[in-house]
Amino acid sequence: MNGLTLKGPYWVAARQHRRALWVLPAVVATGLVAVIALRSWGAGLSSGRLGAPLPNHGHELLYFLMEYAGTGLLFLPLLVGAFVAGPMTARELESGTWRLALTQSTTPRTWLGSKVLVAAVVSVLGSAAVAGVYRLGWVKVPGTYQLFWADPGTYVAAGPVLAAYCLLGVALGVTVGQLVRRTLVSMALTGVLTGLVLLGVGALRWSFLPMETRTMPLKGNLMDAMPTSALMMDTGLLTSTGERLPEYACFERTQNLRVCPADMDVTGWYVEFHPVSHYWPTQLIESSLVLALAGVALYAAFRLVGARRA
């Protein structure tokens, strides 16, 4: 038996949940086939009479697939956490079968470590594969409605932050599973906690890096002040003293966005935005923060299993 073969409790953990572990590769393979087929369909369309282009149904279906896939992948960390909390951890504690592992020269920490390692490896490899398939399809429809690089679904589904959230789900799952020791309750609570972290960190996401600010004259086109690929965060009016006013401050008095009363002393517009170059630094910062939270949860989980044995 070579060194790469799973042994002891690691083999048991993988064997117990082998059916569930095959679901992710099947989903990835199905998604890959669908993306490749739709990309080929969209790229291979010929022109109709007199050179008029035929309706690009392949491109449209790819767009809808990417839209729904991005939204669906937001729930992947919740599902990972719920599975680890329930079937992998709480069920054994609830039924008492975890004690059987301790009769096989296995320590509580090794028992828990086998759950964590198997779940973590599958989660990282699976989420990386899913993100790769998503990006393969997304590069053909970027910037469209709901598929902008900063949209929540696309942002999470296309970057390493997806793997970080899945690892957080694993860490919260083994912790909550030990604390609650009830399968369904553990699954629900872990899903809620993982979702709350995802929402909370997502709300702070665009404050990790400083925004860029540009100004322009009142008569100019505001959209010309920033790149078309940028994520606009705030816009408004500027006075000669640098004071910022709401975007509709002039409109409330003149019924015209570009005509301001003289007493308001408005000189132009300002716009604050994140350029597309902030995507990867934000991904790395957010991933580091989420992994730190996962580390805290794992530390608590191993402390709990040690106390349980004592």
Taking each helix axis as running N to C, give the angle between helix 108-138 and helix 57-73, from 0 to 180 degrees, rounded to the nearest 10. 150
Mean pLDDT of 254-274: 88
Please give the pLDDT value at position 100: 65
Say if residue 155 is exposed, middle or buried (CB neighbours under 10 Å; 0-12, 13-18, 19+): buried
Tokens of 248: 């509709």
Q: Calculate the alpha carbon distances from 14 to 186, 219, 302 in Å.
A: 21, 65, 20
DSSP string, 270-299: EEEEE-GGGHHHHHHHHHHHHHHHHHHHHH
| E strands in the chain | 212-217, 231-239, 244-245, 266-274
Please give the pLDDT value at position 48: 41
d(CA 152, CA 150) in angstroms, rounded, equals 6
Identify which of 78-92, 107-121, 164-178 has the greatest average pLDDT: 164-178
Residue 5 has pLDDT above 70, yes or no: no
d(CA 270, CA 213) in angstroms, rounded, equals 7
Mean pLDDT of 206-217: 93
Mean pLDDT of 243-272: 87
Residue 174 has pLDDT above 50, yes or no: yes
Residue 140 has pLDDT above 90, yes or no: no
pLDDT tens digit string along 222-249? 778 888 889 999 999 999 888 999 988 8
Q: Which residue has the higher pLDDT, 30 or 94?
A: 30
Residue 197 has pLDDT above 90, yes or no: yes
Mean pLDDT of 146-162: 93
Please give the pLDDT value at position 284: 97
Phi and psi dihedrals of 238, rounded to 5?
A: -120, 140
d(CA 37, CA 31) in angstroms, rounded, equals 10
Lowest mean pLDDT among 149-153, 156-160, 210-214, 305-309: 305-309
Residue 166 has pLDDT above 60, yes or no: yes
Return the percentage of the chain with pLDDT > 70, whole number: 86
Please give the pLDDT value at position 3: 42
Tokens of 67: 């839209």
Say which residues have a Cβ less than 8 Å from residue 92's Cβ, sequence separation at least 6.
98
Q: Is the dihedral of CA 153, 156, 157, 163 positive or negative?
A: negative
pLDDT tens digit string along 283-310? 999 999 999 999 999 999 999 887 655 4
Mean pLDDT of 193-218: 94
Mean pLDDT of 253-264: 85
Residue 131 has pLDDT above 80, yes or no: yes
Nearest of 276, 272, 39 to residue 149 by alpha carbon? 276
Q: Which residue has the higher pLDDT, 106 or 252?
A: 252
Lowest mean pLDDT among 64-68, 141-145, 162-166: 141-145
How many other β-carbons are positioned within 10 Å of the β-carbon of residue 160? 17
* Radius of gyration of the chain measured on its C-alpha atoms: 26
pTM, full prediction: 0.87
Pairing mode of beta strands 231-239, 212-217 = unpaired
- 134: confidence class by pLDDT, cuts 50, 70, 90: very high
Neighbouring-strand partners of residue 269: 216, 237
Collapsing DSSP states into helix, strand and coil, what is residue 79? Answer: helix
Say which residues have a Cβ less than 8 Å from residue 102's Cβ, sequence separation at least 6.
108, 111
d(CA 272, CA 105) in angstroms, rounded, equals 61
Phi and psi dihedrals of 164, rounded to 5?
A: -65, -45
Please give the pLDDT value at position 50: 39
Residue 46 has pLDDT above 50, yes or no: no
Query: Within 13 Å, how many C-alpha atoms sit on residue 28's CB side?
Result: 18
Mean pLDDT of 261-275: 91
